[in-house]
Structure 1
Amino acid sequence: MTDANEKDDRVDVEREALLSFLAQQRAFLLTTLQGLDQEQASRRTTASELTLAGIVKHVASVEDSWAEFVRDGAPDVDYSSPKAQEEHENSFRLIGEETLESTLADYERTARETDAYFRSLPDLEVSEKLPAAPWFPEDASWTARDVLLHLIRETAQHCGHADIIREALDGQKTMG
């Protein structure tokens, strides 16, 4: 095997490991919705505005936007604007004609597209400058690897939220 093939093999192993961890977190999140109808999945059970359906919608939106970031670079968004704040808040709730069923289908589509896109990259070193936002260092960049790690972290964090919401809803413990 040549050095180039060895490197490609390591990239594929790393990529598949990261995508596998992301898939595991997605599955944990979806477990919190098992056996629930739309009313239950949309019910607030804590002091926060979070609901199980809203969390899934948000995680799908975040995953979509980070894949788009790797593909096209950072969007030109003023995150402090009322419009950006409203979009962020709406990413956590079903609005209009959105249903639990359509939200779950969108999450499944997003997962397939994210996985396919990251598998299509020649390596995980593709890098883009992060958007100007108070929570990112100025002029910092992230690689595709950084984005996958962030998606794992983001999904895992919301799995914890979802577990608490589900336990408060009906006592079901999805993580233990």
Structure 2
Amino acid sequence: MTTPPQAHRTDPPLDADEATTLVAFLDYHRDTLRMKAAGLTAEQLARPLPPSSLTLGGLLKHVALNEASWFGEVLHGRPMPEPWVSADWDADRDWELTSAKDDSPEELRRLMDESVEQARRDIDAALAEGGLEFRSATVSRKENQSFTLRWILLHMIEEYARHNGHADLLREAIDGVTGE
């Protein structure tokens, strides 16, 4: 077994307040996905593991969409930025996953990194204004109530953790790299 290329990833603290711990776990999972996609070519990032059509490049673009959606649109009520706002979601409801094959590795990584940096600013602003109880600008369609920052952070940790499992399988199928 080989291990993924080295990338900077910091373990979450063992003894910190709740907000620091949640944000640290989210950062840990963000960095884990970056590690899984590190050093791969455009062809490798676009390679699925049949019968699934999911790719590592698609995962990078998918998490970038989720960062912009949950922390910008839902939490703070901002309109979605490009490339999301002009995507034809009616023609392809999985546009971020299917269009990733047309993006370079650098573009996919840039899109994720920029989305994460904006999300960090959004998290910091919410923590400063109301802490983990900060309420979202958008309400849940199911429950018709706003989300807390705590709920959104936990949801995003779950989102990354699930997709990091997918990334493990995809990366091993591409070049045999396994590990954290």
Distance 1:97 1:164 in 2: 22
1:90 is matched by which residue type in structure 2?
W
Q: Which residue does 1:127 correspond to in 2?
A: 135
Distance 1:119 1:103 in 2: 24
- Indicate yes or no: 2:93 matched with 1:62: no
SS at match of 1:142: strand
TM-score, normalized by length of structure 1?
0.77
Structure 1: 5+ residue stretches without partners = 1-11, 76-82
2:40 is matched by which residue type in structure 1?
L
Which shifted more, 66-75 or 14-23? 66-75
Question: Aligned pair in 2 of structure 1 residues 98, 35: CA closer, same or farther (>3 Å)?
Answer: closer
Q: Which residue does 1:38 correspond to in 2?
A: 42
Bigger radius of gyration:
1
2:164 is matched by which residue type in structure 1?
C
Structure 2: 5+ residue stretches without partners = 1-15, 81-87
Q: Equivalent residues in 2 for 1:1-150 (5 A)?
A: 13-67=17-71, 68-72=73-77, 84=89, 86-94=91-99, 98-121=103-126, 122=129, 123-128=131-136, 130-132=139-141, 137-150=142-155
- Contact between 1:46 and 1:165, CA under 8 Å: does it hold in 2? no
2:119 is matched by which residue type in structure 1?
T
Identity among equivalent pairs (%) = 31
Distance 2:102 2:50 in 1: 25
Distance 2:51 2:90 in 1: 20
TM-score, normalized by length of structure 2?
0.75
Task: Quote how far apart the aligned CAs of 1:143 are.
Answer: 0.5
